[in-house]
Amino acid sequence: MEKVAKTLDARGKFCPIPVMETAKAINEVKVGEVLEVLATDPAADPDIKAWAKRMGHEVILSEKTPEGYLRILIKRLK
């Protein structure tokens, strides 16, 4: 289990806000650290995965929690 360096709570926000906030928050963790993103917008999953791939970061986990929201862990690679 990866240690989370920062959590971004984007629940209740809709596209493109979760991706924009993720792009800002990734700069607040060091290279090699993990950013946890919580979101309720179903579009956040493919959007954040596409953004991470484009920016050269790694999505190490994407899951739906028992509470029904999305939890995505992104490792900053550069």
Q: What is the pLDDT of residues 20-54, one digit of tens each?
A: 999 999 999 999 999 999 999 999 999 999 999 99
When divided into structural domains, the chain yields a total of 1
Residues 54-72 have pLDDT tens digits of 999 999 999 999 999 999 9
Residue keyed to tokens 């999505």: 59
Q: Which residues are within 8 A (CB) of 4 and not within 5 positions of it... i.e. 6 or more apart?
A: 34, 35, 36, 73
The reply to whether 19 belongs to the active site is no
Structural domain harbouring 49? 4-75
Q: For residue 56, what is the domain's CATH number?
A: 3.30.110.40
> Of residues 5, 15, 43, 55, which has the active-site annotation?
15
The overall pTM is greater than 0.85: yes
Q: Please, what is the average pLDDT of the chain? A: 96
Label residue 2 by pLDDT band (50, 70, 90). confident
